[in-house]
Amino acid sequence: MTNTTLFAHLIEGYNKLAFTHNYIYGFCFQNMVYMVKATAEDMPFVLKLDKASRGAGYALRFKPNKAQKTFLLAKGATAICSKEFFEATVKESKYNRGEIFEKMVTEFYGQTWEKDNIPFTDDGDLTVDGVAYQIKFEKATFTNEKSLARMI
């Protein structure tokens, strides 16, 4: 299987299992942290194929480069805080960057954040106006070959 085929296979497999096909991506650009809403249609343009850890094959990750960040900015990204504030918040917390971003987005929409472990197959991370979203920050893994094969 070529990398292009594998990339498409991982996206397709993830989408078959996912509860929602709506996403809120987070990324740093020019010393600001941004969030932007996107759909499954945008996945091929903002995700990448990367080596998975612990022998799990390849992984589908959100690791946007400058061109991908520019693409996301053009979709109407909103600045939510400075990178400096974000990194200080992460450092002072027991939570990781993805969890802190999820908390900030949830609070941006006037909701109370609680850490949970609800699988992506069962619900989104946040529901806004009746629409469920998965929230992903830079370097987030969607799935890997081993996990996807186990779930399918």
Span 86-136, pLDDT tens digits: 999 999 999 999 999 999 999 999 999 999 999 999 999 999 999 999 999
Tokens linked to 2: 């070529």
Nearest alpha-carbon partner for 78 in 150, 141, 128, 8: 128
Q: What is the pTM of this model?
A: 0.94
Residue 152 lies in a domain: no
Reported as a single tens digit per residue, the pLDDT across 35-78 is: 999 999 999 999 999 998 888 899 999 999 999 999 999 999 99
- Residue 27 burial (C-beta neighbours within 10 Å; 0-12, 13-18, 19+): buried
DSSP letter at 52 equals: P
Residue 123 lies in a domain: yes
Residue 3's pLDDT band (cuts 50, 70, 90): confident
Query: For residue 82, which amino acid is it?
Result: S
Q: How far, in whole angstroms, is CA 111 from its chain's centroid?
A: 19
Q: Report CA dihedral (59, 26, 82, 130) to the nearest 10 degrees.
A: -150
Residue 126 lies in a domain: yes
Residue 125 lies in a domain: yes
Total tally of structural domains belonging to the chain? 1
Residue 87 lies in a domain: yes
| Mean pLDDT value of segment 21-48 | 97
Alpha helices per DSSP H over 23-129: 43-46, 66-74, 83-91, 97-108
Residue 151 lies in a domain: no
The residue range of the domain holding 137 is 3-146
Residue 131 lies in a domain: yes
